[in-house]
Amino acid sequence: MSKPEIETIGTTVVYKNRWMTLREDAIVRADGSSGLYSVVEKPDFAVIAAVSDGEIYLVEQYRYPVQDRFWELPQGSWEEQTVDPLVLARAELREETGLIAGSMLHAGRLFLGYGYSTQAYDLFLATELSTGKTQLDAEEFGLIAKPFKLHLVEDMIRDGTIKDATTVAALGLLRLKGLL
């Protein structure tokens, strides 16, 4: 890791709840000028591309901040900051889709938005799928999970049906690595 170009001289927690912290850091840049930087801290999450017989599972759910329902790869986090990414991925896959993966390949780690947040995510390719029982009350959360042919998911990205940047980045990374 290279030497920081910015020195933090003070930190103030502006807001905190059990899911996130917003802090403001007083900084000094390499040129000596001072400033303020706001940082969102959230737990890392897992994203799972569950693939079987040329199909990939997506979930549709309501996303409150943007007031609409969207299709995306299964993904989620826990409040604990130190959870093993593989344990998290397996649990989220089962919780959201009812699927159990016989194989989970760690395909990469990306940051969600490192210009404003510390949050990162681990991407897993899940294969050798079997059906279990979802652990979410689908009616309570309005979650729909179903498989799509991969070419249809790519069409959904192209036509703007899928708007989740994490899903688009994850599928792009899997394609670039030759895993899809």
Mean pLDDT across 146-172: 98
Widest CA span in the chain:
58
Give the up-direction half-sphere exposure of residue 127: CA atoms within 13 A in the CB hemisphere.
9
Superfamily of domain 45-176: Nucleoside Triphosphate Pyrophosphohydrolase (3.90.79.10)
Quote the pTM value. Answer: 0.91
Q: Which helix (DSSP H) or strand (DSSP E) does residue 171 occupy?
A: helix 165-176
- 133 has pLDDT over 90: no
Mean pLDDT across 161-168: 98
Query: Tell me, what amino acid is at 107?
Result: A
- 93 has pLDDT over 80: yes
